[in-house]
Amino acid sequence: MSPGLLEGLLMLPALLLLALVFLWPLGAMAWLSGQASSVLTGLTALPNGGANWLRLLGDGRFWQDAGQTLRFALVSVVLELLLGLGLALLLQRPGRGRAWLRTLTLLPWALPTTVMALGWRWIYNDPFGPLNALLGLLGIGPYGFLSNPATSWLFTVLADVWKTTPFVALLLLAGLQSIPLELRESLELEGAGRWQRLRHLTLPLLLPYLSLALLFRLTQALGVFDLVQVLTGGGPAGSTESLALYAYLNAMRFLDFGYSATVVMGTFVLLLLAVSLALLLWRRSQPHRRPA
C-alpha cells in the first residue's frame, strides 16, 4: 500500500466527522435558505425562487448588523492581540508565583460566556452597579453604560476582551516557549536591548502563532451571539445587535426559518470574505523570503 493511500485512509474518519458536523448542516442551511418556510406558510418547505436572497440584499437591518458585527470583531480582536502579547510576555518571565498567576489569568477564559455576561451586566448596571457606585464616590453622576446607543457597543467589546484575551495569551505563550533560549542569549551578548530582541527575534518567530490567534478570534468574533444576547439583547435600539442574533430572532421570534437560514448563509459568506481579506493583508505585510 502506497504511503499516500495509507495517509488518506488514516484521514478518512476525520473527514467523515468534518462532513457530519460541518458540511451537512451547511448544506441543509443552504437548501433551507431557498425555501419559504415560515409560520405564514405553515412551516412547509416551498421553493421561493431566490426571494429570500433578494430580500437579504435590500434588508437595511442586515447590513446595519453586518457593520456592527464587523466593528465589534475588528476592535475586539486588535485589543486582544495587543493585550494577549503583553500578557504572554509577562507570564513567561521567571519568578515566584508564576503558576498561580497563570491560573488566575486563565479564569476568565474558563468561565462560561453566559455567566461572564451576567456578571458584566451587573457591573454595568445603572444606577446600582459597582462602576456607577465608584462614579458616585468620585462625585460623578451615574452613567448608562448599556443604555447609550453611541457607547454601548464599546462596553460590550470590553467584556469580550476581558473574556478572550487569556485565550490569545495562552497561544502566544506556547509560541514564546518554542523560541530557543540560545537565540535570546546570543542577542543579549551582542548588546541587543529588550525592545530590539522583541522586534528582531520574538515577533518574527511569533508570527505563525499570531496568525493562528487572529484566525480563531476573528471567526469567533464575527459569529458572536451569547455575549450580546445576555448582555444587551441587541439593544439599545439595535445598536449592539449582531448577525447571529438577527438570525436567531428571525427563527425563534418571527418563525421565519427560511429567511433566518438566508441570514446565516449571508453571514457565512461575509465571514469567509473577512477572514480571507485578513489573511491576505497579513501575508502581504510579511517580508518575502527567498528560498535557500
Q: Which residues contact 13 (CB under 8 A, 6 or more apart)?
A: none
The whole-number pLDDT of residue 158 equals 95
38 confidence band (pLDDT: 50, 70, 90)? low
Furthest-apart CA pair in the chain: how many Å?
78
Hey, where are the domains in the chain? 61-240
8-state DSSP, 233 = T
Q: Which residues contact 87 (CB under 8 A, 6 or more apart)?
A: 105, 165, 166, 169
Residue where the block lists cell 436572497: 53
Mean per-residue pLDDT for 239-267? 91
Superfamily for domain range 61-240? MetI-like (1.10.3720.10)
Higher-confidence residue of 154 and 257: namely 154
Question: How much is the pTM?
Answer: 0.86
Q: 212-229 pLDDT, tens per residue?
A: 898 889 999 999 999 999
Q: Of 258, 275, 254, which is closest to residue 54 (Cα–Cα)? A: 258
Percent of the chain with pLDDT over 90: 39
Over 50: is that where the pLDDT of 290 sits?
A: no
Mean per-residue pLDDT for 52-65? 92
Over 70: is that where the pLDDT of 291 sits?
A: no
Range with the largest mean pLDDT of 92-96, 103-107, 251-255, 262-266: 262-266
Mean per-residue pLDDT for 3-14? 78
Mean per-residue pLDDT for 272-284? 81
Computed over every residue of the chain, the mean pLDDT equals: 84
Q: 172-199 pLDDT, tens per residue?
A: 998 888 877 777 767 666 666 677 777 7
Mean per-residue pLDDT for 45-56? 75
Mean per-residue pLDDT for 36-64? 75
* Separation of alpha carbons 92 and 183, rounded Å: 16
Over 70: is that where the pLDDT of 292 sits?
A: no
With helix as H, strand as E and coil as C, how does 109-170 read? HHCCHHHHHHHHHHHCCCCCCHHHHHHHHCCCCCCCCCCCCCCHHHHHHHHHHHHHHHHHHH
